[in-house]
Amino acid sequence: MKKIINYLEGHIEPLIDYWLSTYYVKSDEYELRKNVDGFLDAQRKETISLFLTAFENIRKGVCAVPFFEEIGEDRRDMNTSFKDVYSNYHVVYTAAIEFLDVQIQAGKVDFSLEEYSKFILFFRKLEINSGRHLFEGFLQRQDSSY
């Protein structure tokens, strides 16, 4: 699994660019904010940072990124719909697996089936556990009128 994490970390920018161009630009959140100067670049930087933190946690055997709660609060405050938060969150993980698969199919990298399977299972656990933090942050009530 370490080999896969190292590969993805070394290719973090093309991975995030793949997600942005394949999925994020089709989201409602992007559509609402695409004309805001620097928004897409800020989204790119935030996602790179989240992935790097996730990779660090994976190395430690931790299956969550707790500060996703802050991202959830931020998206709620930006009036991003829950549907969009939910979709955007999960397609980031999908895009990472697709990116890795494209690299494997193109012969740019090779992993054993065992290593790949362990990575996918752990990555899914990370997705589930970190998602809980994201959604809790999004669903927290700011005040009694919310």
Enclosing domain of residue 110: 2-139
In a domain, 49, yes or no: yes
* C-alpha 91 chain-centroid distance: 7
Burial 115-131 (b: 16+ CB within 10 A, else e): ebeebeebbeebbebbb
Which CATH number does the domain housing residue 9 bear? 1.10.490
The Cα 75–Cα 46 span in angstroms is 13
DSSP 12-57: HHHHHHHHHHHTGGGSHHHHHHTTSTTHHHHHHHHHHHHHHHHHHH
Q: For tokens 């399977």, what's the residue?
A: 117
When divided into structural domains, the chain yields a total of: 1
> Along the 146 residues of the chain, how does pLDDT read in single tens digits?
889 999 999 999 999 999 999 999 999 999 999 999 999 999 999 999 988 888 888 888 777 677 788 889 989 998 899 999 999 999 999 999 999 999 999 999 999 999 999 999 988 988 898 888 899 999 986 553 43
Report yes or no: 76 and 137 within 8 Å, Cβ to Cβ: yes
Q: What is the pTM of this model?
A: 0.85
User: Among 71, 23, 31, which Cα is nearest to 51's?
Assistant: 71
Q: Is residue 99 part of a domain?
A: yes
